[in-house]
Amino acid sequence: MTSDGWPLWEVFVRSRRGLSHTHAGSLHAPDAEMALRNARDLYTRRSEGVSIWVVPSTEITASSPDEKDPFFEPAADKPYRHPTFYDIPEGVKHL
């Protein structure tokens, strides 16, 4: 069982009632079309009305764990950047 020349693909699936595509997993396939078919078998069990995205893994740029501090920290230590910081004035509805 080799997958020589079969690159890795990342699979994102939106379920029938889902609002957005969620990363479901990955698989090997020779090209995008085959990746879609395999994703359908592996991750959707062919439920109708779902949407599948496949992306070559090499196309994805991930944030590096080493950069965690400068990347994600600033937001956490400045409470005024979060919506919960502010009181909602009386009389404002539907916010």
Q: Provide the CB-side half-sphere exposure for 26 (13 A, CA).
A: 11
Q: Does 32 bind another protein (CB under 8 A)?
A: no
Work out whether 42 is an interface residue with another protein (CB under 8 A).
yes
Output phi, psi for 27, to 5 deg.
-160, 170
We find the least distance from the C-beta atom of residue 39 to another protein, in angstroms, to be 9
Choices 1-9, 12-20, 50-58, 73-81; region in contact with another protein by CB under 8 A: 1-9
CA–CA dist 75, 81 (Å, integer): 7
Amino acid in position 3: S
Nearer to another protein (CB atom), residue 45 or residue 94: 45
3-state SS assignment for residue 53: strand
Segment contacting another protein (CB under 8 A): 11-19, 35-43, 55-63, 82-90? 35-43
